[in-house]
Amino acid sequence: MTTKKKQVSRRSRYTTRSKSSKAPAGRIKRFLRACSVAAITSFSVASYVLNPQWHEQFALEPILSQFGLANQQIAPQVTVSGAQAQTHFAQCPQFFPTARPPSVPAGEALRELCFSSFAILHSGQTKTPVFVAQRLNRQMLVQARAMQRTDRFYAEARLPRAERAVLDDYRGSGYSRGHMAPAGDMHDTEAMAQSFSLANMVPQNQTHNAGAWSRIEQDTRKYVMRAAGDVYVFTGPVYDSRAETVGEGHVTVPRHIFKVVYDATTGKSWVHWQANSANTKAGPPISYNEFVRRTGLVLLP
């Protein structure tokens, strides 16, 4: 009896050791599997961010949902109370000349988008910017001269699908994808890539875009090159009640396009006001006060 008990006892110890040795091995396998999934997902997200031309073909939301981050990608919506909406742009205040960012006429689906070299207040109704804000100086534009234009347009993934323009909206429309923050102002590769977000575009008459409007952009850069410090520029569209739309997404075509220029050193400001049409000429600017009267946009201090 004693010998049998010893044999049973040895078998019990062996079985216990076998089970306990399997447990750590199982945990290690699960740990390695989790690390692999995390690494693959991180690589996918990084590749997506660094290649904005993929945004139109692939959805980022399914990848981010694995980490519970999908909702963080949606741009914050502006809270509207009364006739005016006060913006905040807490993530990118550097693009505005004072601590109090612009206020605009109240509207639906207004969202704030921060990029590395500009900021956009976007309208989900028109699927275009309300305005695009930039801070420019001589050093930036000197660097911008060495940049190569990429022309890789993409839909903005941080906007809900129902509020954003897509590439097909512009195809065959007869309008160009008109930059509000110009590609010619972008001083590094990240800024250049981001400038081709469709959130930065409006349907613009092709002749106007390549002609009078291009000269205004060039003249603005010439002024910045001569300025003593930072120059703040706000660019955007103006619509009327009978505005045309393009594409299945009904992206609204502006009647006018504006560019507000504000020299923070001298306090001087002026506004280029252009009809979005082929026969528009580059005429004299209007005053900032007249611009506010026409649009209700309070962009400067």
Instruction: Give the residue numbers annotated as catalytic, written as ranges.
Output: 179
- Residues 137, 231 contacting (CB under 8 angstroms): yes
Three-class SS of residue 122? strand
**How many angstroms separate the CA atoms of 237 and 274, rounded?**
10
d(CA 228, CA 4): 98
| DSSP 8-state symbol, 156 | -
Angle at 199 between CA 196 and CA 200, to 5 degrees: 55
Candidates 271, 282, 277; CA nearest to 208 is 277
The CB density around residue 151, as the number of other CB atoms within 10 Å, is 10
List, in sequence order, the alpha helices (H) in 180-272. Answer: 189-194, 206-210, 212-226
Q: Which residue type is seen at 93?
A: P
Using the structure block, give the residue that is written with the tokens 């022309």: 151
Q: How far apart, in whole angstroms, are the C-alpha atoms of residue 220 and residue 234?
A: 11
